[in-house]
Amino acid sequence: MKRLVFLLLIALITGRHGICGVEQASLEVNGKSYFLWWPIVGTPSGFSVDQDASIAQNKKIFVQNGASISNSQIVLFAEAVLKSDLPQIYTLNHFASERFKFRKKSDPDIFGTALKWFKDGDGIPLDVTLLISTSRPEITFVIYQDECKFYVSLEVVSKSKEVSKIGTKAFLEMLKGYHVN
């Protein structure tokens, strides 16, 4: 009986979304297995996972069907970082701030503005940052979440204004599969 209660408790905690909205992905490439933590998100129609780039960058990377990360006009990222791997980071705001500082190093002309346009798959509003550079054509939306023992980063990069509407639609589709815990 105790075992049954324990198993039911585990099922309630993890639910249909894995552990805190994060799943351990197992990929096999050239006979070698890779185990990665990825947020559970929806796959946008017209997009597929670039496995090589996903393994190299340790995040789930969606590109337009038939493209790779290097030539896709729209790229979506879903990343889960174990908090224990970042002992110097103590809060979600600190995590987001460090990510922005890193971007600023490669593009000093980037700036961000907070938005409330997006919701997860359960309709919960998400804090979104719109990143725009005055020297590059990319338009980026990024969401940072604190999920139990992970910091989660969800992002779409549209490489031009012309494709940003398609990128935004794909991002919304990806978010439908994401559930804040």
Assess whether pLDDT exceeds 60 at residue 10.
no
Q: How many separate domains does the chain show? A: 1
Question: Is 5 part of any domain?
Answer: no
Output the pLDDT for position 13. 37
Report the b/e string of 102-141 with b at 16+ CB within 10 A.
ebeeeeeebebeeeeebbbbeeeebebbebebeeeebbbb
Output the pLDDT for position 16. 40
Please tell me the pTM assigned to this model: 0.84
Q: What is the CATH number of the domain that holds 38?
A: 3.40.1000
The tens digit of pLDDT for each residue in 11-65 reads: 333 334 457 889 988 877 788 887 889 999 999 999 999 989 998 999 999 999 9
Q: Return the SS3 of 156.
A: strand
Question: Is 97 part of any domain?
Answer: yes
CA 134 vs. chain centroid, Å, equals 24
- Chain mean pLDDT for the chain: 86
Question: Is 48 part of any domain?
Answer: yes
Question: Is 2 part of any domain?
Answer: no
Output the pLDDT for position 87. 92
Question: Is 138 part of any domain?
Answer: yes
99-107 average pLDDT score: 94
Question: Is 69 part of any domain?
Answer: yes
Residue of 136, 129, 89, 128 lying closest to 110 (CA atoms): 136
Question: Is 38 part of any domain?
Answer: yes
The tens digit of pLDDT for each residue in 144-153 reads: 999 989 999 9
Question: Is 13 part of any domain?
Answer: no
Handedness of CA 109, 112, 113, 117 (dihedral sign): positive
Domain extent, residue 166, equals 21-176
Alpha carbon distance 161, 94 (integer Å): 30
Token pair of 11 as six digits: 């099922």
